[in-house]
C-alpha cells in the first residue's frame, strides 16, 4: 500500500464520466471503475484517492524530465502572461525560432530544418506530406508510395494510420486509408531472440523485404519508408543488430527517403538525443513530439534535411512554399515549455544519465526472466518490456490484470497487448527502478 498524500487535490465529489469519450480506452469498463490521477510531481502521480503512484512509464513515454518541473512550469506561466498566442501564418514570434534552433542542434548532421506541429500524429502526417512535396519539387511526381511496417504505430491521422501496422487501429477505417502503401514485416521474433539484452542478434535480413517491395512496385514509385527505430506502442520491438543500417543502405541505393518516427525515442529515451544517434543511422526526416516539451504543453515537430527543405523552397518562385501548417504550430506556450525543457535536459545531463543508468536498468528488468507467464524480457536504453503468454482466448487480458495489480501496489506500468512496457522518466533513481521491478515480480506471482 502506498502512502496517502493529504495535500493532494480531490476529484470533484459529483464527477460525471458520461460526456468525455476517452481515447484508446475501454470506456465502459473505465467508467465502471475509473482510475483518476489528480496531481503529479517528479517521479510520482497522486491518484484521486490520495495514494501516490510511481510513474514507471513517463506518462505515455513523454515526461522525460519528471513531472511538474519548476522551470518548465514557470516558463509556461510567464509566457501565458507575456504572449499567449501569435498567429503562425505570415507572422512569427521569437521563441519558435529559438526552439527550432535548439532542436536542430540536437538532431543528427544536417537534419536542421524544423517544422512544428501539435502532436506526434501531426508530425508523422507532416513528414509524409513533406516527402510528397519534395518529390514533386524534384520533378519525380510519380514517387507517391509509402512503405511502413507491420506493428508500427505512427499516430492516428489518415497518413499515420495508413502507414501504421496495427490491425485493430486500421480495421474500423478499412477501405478509406491511403492507397499506395506497403508494409515491411516487423522484426520481432521470439523463437530466435527471446530474452536478448539490448539489440537482438537475429533479423537484420528482414530489412531485405524492402528490396522485394521495390522489385514489385519500382523504386521510382516509392517516396519514403517510415519506421520507428524502436517500436514502442506495440510492445517494444527492438531493431535487430544491423537492421536499420540495412534499411538505410537499401533506401540509399534506390534514392528513397527514410523517415524515423522518433515520437517515443526522441529526447533521451535511449540515452542519446535521438535513436538515430544511438543506432548510428541517419534518416532524412525525424518526426518527434512528447519529450520535446516534457509533455507539459502538446507539441510535435519534424526535422527535415536541408536538401529536402531547400528543394521545396527552391521549387516555389515566390509566395508560400509549403501549403501545410497548424493554427498552433510553434505555439508560444509550447515553445516556452520546449525551451525550458531542453535547458533542463541539458542542465541535468538527463540523456547521459539515461545512458549511465541503462546497464542497471537492464539488470533489473532481466531479473524478471523466468518469472511465471513471462515469455520474453527485453531492454534498450531506459525502456523495458515484459511479454506474457496470452491467456487462452483472451489476448491482452493477462497483461491488463498485471497492470491493475501494479497500480494497486502504487506503480504505473503500461499495457501493450500481452506486453508490459516500462519507460520511467530519466530522473528515476536506482531504488525506484527496483520498486518498479519488485511490483512487477509480485504481480506476476499472483497472476492467473
Ligand atoms: C511512434 C509514435 N508515433 C506517433 C505517435 C502519435 O503521437 P500523438 O499521440 O502525440 O499524436 C505516437 C504516440 O504514442 C508514437 O509512439
List pLDDT tens digits, range 208-252. Answer: 999 999 999 999 999 999 999 999 999 999 999 999 999 999 999
Burial 42-70 (b: 16+ CB within 10 A, else e): ebbbbbbebbbbbbbbbbbbbbbbbbebe
Q: Please indicate, yes or no, whether residues 59 and 197 belong to a single structural domain of this protein.
A: no
Of 412, 420, 418, residue with least CA distance to 397: 418
338's grid cell: 520546449
Q: Please indicate, yes or no, whether residues 284 and 358 belong to a single structural domain of this protein.
A: no
Distance, CA of 185 to CA of 370 (rounded, Å)? 28
pLDDT on residue 6: 65
Q: Please indicate, yes or no, whether residues 273 and 355 belong to a single structural domain of this protein.
A: no
Last residue of a domain, one of 316, 347, 378: 347
User: Among residues of the chain, what percentage have pLDDT more than 70?
Assistant: 98
Q: Is the pLDDT of residue 2 over 70?
A: no
Average pLDDT over residues 298-305: 98
Q: Residue 395 in contact with residue 417, Cβ under 8 Å? A: yes
Predicted confidence (pLDDT) per residue in 37-67, tens digit: 999 999 999 999 999 999 999 999 999 999 9
Q: Is the pLDDT of residue 68 over 50?
A: yes
Q: Please indicate, yes or no, whether residues 176 and 289 belong to a single structural domain of this protein.
A: yes
Q: What is the CATH number of the domain that holds 237?
A: 3.40.640.10
Side by side, the strands of the sheet bearing 414-416 are 374-380, 383-388, 419-422, 414-416
Name the residue of 61, 123, 155, 423 whose CB sits within 8 Å of the most ligand 1 atoms, as the mutation to test its pocket: 155
Q: Which domain holds residue 442?
A: 27-65+349-446
Name the residue of 275, 289, 295, 334 whose CB sits within 8 Å of the most ligand 1 atoms, as the mutation to test its pocket: 289
Q: Is the pLDDT of residue 299 over 80?
A: yes
Q: Is the CB of 123 under 6 A from ligand 1?
A: no
pLDDT on residue 3: 62
Q: Is the CB of 121 under 6 A from ligand 1?
A: yes
How confident is the prediction for the chain on average, in pLDDT?
A: 97
Residue 282 lies in a domain: yes
pLDDT on residue 12: 77
The strand pair at 285-288 and 257-261 is best described as parallel
Residue 7 lies in a domain: no
Distance, CA of 257 to CA of 131 (rounded, Å)? 7
- For cell 538525443, the residue is 273
Which ligand 1 atom minimizes the distance to the CA of 289? 10
Distance, CA of 191 to CA of 250 (rounded, Å)? 26
Q: Is the CB of 128 under 6 A from ligand 1?
A: no
Distance, CA of 334 to CA of 341 (rounded, Å)? 10
Question: For residue 272, which phi and psi values (nearest 5 degrees)?
Answer: -135, 165
Specify the pTM.
Answer: 0.97
- The CB density around residue 371, as the number of other CB atoms within 10 Å, is 16
Residue 8 lies in a domain: no
268's grid cell: 533521451
Residue 43 lies in a domain: yes
Q: Residue 228 in contact with residue 260, Cβ under 8 Å? A: yes
Predicted confidence (pLDDT) per residue in 155-214, tens digit: 999 999 999 999 999 999 999 999 999 999 999 999 999 999 999 999 999 999 999 999
3-state class of 307 per DSSP? helix
Distance, CA of 418 to CA of 397 (rounded, Å)? 7
Residue of minimum CA distance from atom 13 in ligand 1 = 155
Average pLDDT over residues 123-132: 98
Task: Report CA torsion sign: 348, 99, 55, 187.
Answer: negative
162's grid cell: 495508413
Q: Please indicate, yes or no, whether residues 336 and 400 belong to a single structural domain of this protein.
A: no
Q: Is the CB of 265 under 6 A from ligand 1?
A: no
pLDDT on residue 14: 86
Which ligand 1 atom minimizes the distance to the CA of 157? 11
Q: Please indicate, yes or no, whether residues 170 and 249 belong to a single structural domain of this protein.
A: yes
Q: Please indicate, yes or no, whether residues 294 and 436 belong to a single structural domain of this protein.
A: no
Q: Please indicate, yes or no, whether residues 376 and 391 belong to a single structural domain of this protein.
A: yes
Residue 146 lies in a domain: yes
Read out DSSP for 376-444? EEEEETTEEEEEEPPBTTBTTHHHHHHHHHHHHTTEE-EEETTEEEE---TT--HHHHHHHHHHHHHHH
User: Among residues of the chain, what percentage have pLDDT more than 90?
Assistant: 96
Residue 208 lies in a domain: yes
pLDDT band for 9, please (50, 70, 90 cuts). Answer: confident
Q: Please indicate, yes or no, whether residues 179 and 295 belong to a single structural domain of this protein.
A: yes
pLDDT on residue 133: 98
Q: Tell me the β-bridge partners of 53.
A: 45
- Rounded to the nearest whole angstrom, what is the distance from the C-alpha of residue 160 to the centroid of ligand 1? 9
- Rounded to the nearest whole angstrom, what is the distance from the C-alpha of residue 423 to the centroid of ligand 1? 15
Predicted confidence (pLDDT) per residue in 274-290, tens digit: 999 999 999 999 999 99
Q: Is the pLDDT of residue 1 over 50?
A: no
Distance, CA of 200 to CA of 194 (rounded, Å)? 8
What total number of domains does the chain contain? 2
Last residue of a domain, one of 314, 347, 380: 347
Residue 192 lies in a domain: yes
Which ligand 1 atom minimizes the distance to the CA of 120? 7
Q: What is the CATH number of the domain that holds 31?
A: 3.90.1150.10
Q: Please indicate, yes or no, whether residues 405 and 261 belong to a single structural domain of this protein.
A: no
Read out DSSP for 244-298? HHHHHHHHHHHT-EEEEE-TTTTTTTTSSSSHHHHHT---SEEEE-GGGTTTSS-
Residue 21 lies in a domain: no
Distance, CA of 110 to CA of 311 (rounded, Å)? 14
Last residue of a domain, one of 280, 315, 347: 347
Predicted confidence (pLDDT) per residue in 256-274, tens digit: 999 999 999 999 999 999 9
Distance, CA of 438 to CA of 364 (rounded, Å)? 9
Distance, CA of 317 to CA of 40 (rounded, Å)? 50
Q: Please indicate, yes or no, whether residues 291 and 218 belong to a single structural domain of this protein.
A: yes
Q: Please indicate, yes or no, whether residues 184 and 328 belong to a single structural domain of this protein.
A: yes
Amino acid at each position: 500500500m502506498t502512502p496517502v498524500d493529504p495535500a493532494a487535490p480531490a476529484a470533484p465529489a459529483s464527477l460525471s464520466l458520461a460526456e468525455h469519450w476517452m481515447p484508446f480506452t475501454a470506456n465502459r469498463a473505465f467508467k465502471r471503475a475509473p482510475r483518476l490521477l489528480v496531481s503529479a510531481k517528479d517521479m510520482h502521480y497522486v491518484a484521486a484517492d490520495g495514494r501516490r503512484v510511481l510513474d514507471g512509464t513517463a506518462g505515455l513515454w513523454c515526461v522525460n524530465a519528471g513531472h511538474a518541473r519548476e522551470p518548465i512550469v514557470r516558463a509556461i506561466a510567464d509566457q501565458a502572461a507575456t504572449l499567449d498566442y501569435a498567429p503562425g501564418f505570415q507572422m512569427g514570434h521569437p521563441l519558435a525560432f529559438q526552439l527550432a534552433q535548439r532542436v536542430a542542434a540536437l538532431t543528427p548532421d544536417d537534419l536542421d530544418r524544423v517544422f512544428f506541429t501539435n502532436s506526434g500524429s501531426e508530425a508523422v502526417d507532416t513528414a509524409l506530406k513533406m516527402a510528397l512535396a519534395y518529390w514533386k519539387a524534384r520533378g519525380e511526381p510519380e514517387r507517391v508510395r509509402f512503405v511502413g511496417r507491420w506493428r508500427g504505430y505512427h499516430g492516428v491521422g489518415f497518413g499515420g494510420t495508413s502507414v501504421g501496422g496495427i490491425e485493430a487501429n486500421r480495421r474500423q477505417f478499412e477501405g478509406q486509408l491511403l492507397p499506395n502503401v506497403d508494409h515491411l514485416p516487423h522484426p520481432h521474433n521470439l523463437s530466435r531472440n527471446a530474452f536478448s539484452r539490448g539489440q537482438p542478434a537475429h533479423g537484420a535480413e528482414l530489412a531485405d523485404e524492402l528490396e522485394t517491395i521495390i522489385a514489385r512496385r519500382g523504386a521510382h514509385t516509392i517516396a519514403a519508408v517510415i519506421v520507428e527505430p524502436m517500436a514502442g506502442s506495440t510492445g517494444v520491438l527492438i531493431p535487430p543488430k544491423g537492421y536499420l543500417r540495412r534499411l538505410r543502405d537499401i533506401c540509399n541505393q534506390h534514392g528513397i527517403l527514410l523517415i524515423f518516427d522518433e515520437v517515443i525515442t526522441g529526447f533521451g529515451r535511449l540515452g542519446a538525443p535521438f535513436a538515430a544517434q544511438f543506432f548510428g543511422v541517419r534518416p532524412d526526416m525525424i518526426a518527434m513530439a512528447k519529450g520535446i516539451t516534457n509533455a507539459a504543453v502538446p507539441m510535435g515537430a519534424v526535422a527535415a534535411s536541408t536538401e529536402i527543405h531547400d528543394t521545396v523552397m527552391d521549387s516555389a518562385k515566390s509566395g508560400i512554399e509549403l501549403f501545410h501548417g497548424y493554427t498552433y504550430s510553434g505555439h508560444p506556450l509550447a515553445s516556452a515549455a520546449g525551451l525550458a525543457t531542453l535547458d533542463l535536459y541539458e542542465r541535468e545531463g538527463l540523456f547521459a544519465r539515461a545512458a549511465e543508468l541503462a546497464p542497471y536498468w537492464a539488470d533489473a528488468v532481466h531479473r524478471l526472466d523466468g518469472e511465471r507467464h513471462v515469455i520474453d524480457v527485453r531492454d534498450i536504453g531506459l525502456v523495458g518490456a515484459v511479454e506474457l503468454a496470452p491467456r487462452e482466448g483472451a489476448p491482452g487480458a493477462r497483461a491488463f490484470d498485471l497492470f491493475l495489480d501494479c497500480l494497486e501496489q502504487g506503480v504505473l506500468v503500461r499495457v501493450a497487448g500481452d506486453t508490459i512496457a516500462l519507460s520511467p522518466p530519466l530522473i528515476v533513481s536506482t531504488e525506484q527502478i527496483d520498486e518498479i521491478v519488485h511490483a512487477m515480480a509480485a504481480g506476476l506471482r499472483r497472476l492467473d
